[in-house]
Amino acid sequence: MELILTTLAEAKVIFADLSKKLQVRAGAVTSNTEEPIDITIAAMQQFFDIAEGVDASKTEFVSNDISDVGEHGLMLLEKLVLKAGSLNDIEDKTDLEQIALVIAEWIIQRNGKINILEPIVDALAQVANAVVDTEQLIALADFMGEIADACSDTIKQDIEIGNMHRPWRILNINRGIVATRTNDPQTMRGVFAELIKALPMDAPGFFKEGMSEMIRLNYPDHVRDVMQEYFDQTDMPQIH
């Protein structure tokens, strides 16, 4: 089963409605030092037109072109999400964030690279909190893996390892949590192995915390066995 994501065309329609409400609520709040929201909205609408033009064209676009278009869309969307947040417009902020997943899928399907990860991670967290069906959780874990694979080398290098809130860390940790919630050993093993590679310094803590959750939430034995297996692999003895 695949996750049901909105198409780019549907996202464009949704955005048109959201942007109207955002313009009304922004009103005269915009300061002299802040870019007028109308400009950002117009640029975002132009992004949709450009992306549709790419899809309609018979020209084969190189990965860098797709990456640049996708990055531009995510950058604009991030501005609008921040604006909605500053207006305490939580519902519209949430809906705007979900468009990030559509853009991510668009980039992935065209072999581009994801250069801006934070809005995608925020949107994935919302989906993860809402999904309970096992097949949907497996599909979500798979999609999160596709996003991780599509991330740029700069993101994957994970230089800021001291920042616990870095999007790369959150993506992989949340994917591990989603995989655990599937109760599916095959999904768990695949995701856990990739978690160790992606976050070698953070993985031991994840599996240690996971073992505590096994008891607290009374996970079934076959799930505990997999968590125990990876805890044993990464448990690092203390040096005295």
Chunked into runs of 10 residues, the chain (240 residues) has average pLDDT values of: 81 95 76 77 97 88 93 96 89 93 96 97 95 96 98 94 94 98 98 97 96 94 97 71
Residue 32 placed within a domain: yes
pLDDT attached to residue 29: 56
Distance of CA 20 to the CA centre of its chain: 25
Closest CA to 104 of 92, 115, 89, 96: 115
Count, residues in the chain: 240
Residue 57 is predicted with a pLDDT of 87
Check residue 235 and report its DSSP letter: P
The answer on 192 and 94 residing in a single domain is no
Instruction: Domain count for the chain, please give it.
Output: 2
The verdict on residue 90 lying in a domain is yes
Closest CA to 12 of 38, 33, 41: 41
- The predicted pLDDT at position 62 comes to 87
Query: Do the domain assignments include residue 57?
Result: yes
Range of the structural domain that residue 205 is part of:
133-240
Tell me if 121 is assigned to some domain.
Answer: no
Same domain, 141 and 198: yes
- Same domain, yes or no, for 177 and 220? yes
Query: How far apart are alpha carbons 235 and 9 in whole angstroms?
Result: 47
Whether residue 125 is contained in a domain is answered as: no
Residues 200 and 232 grouped into a single domain: yes
In a domain, 20, yes or no: yes
Query: Which DSSP state fits 34?
Result: S
Contact 166, 160 (CB under 8 A): yes
Provide the pLDDT for residue 31.
55
Domain end, chosen from 116, 145, 167, is at 116
In a domain, 192, yes or no: yes
Considering the domain architecture, whether residues 172 and 231 belong to the same structural domain is answered as yes
Q: pTM for this one?
A: 0.92
Give me the pLDDT at residue 240, please: 38
Residue 126 forms part of a structural domain: no
152 and 80 fall within a common domain: no
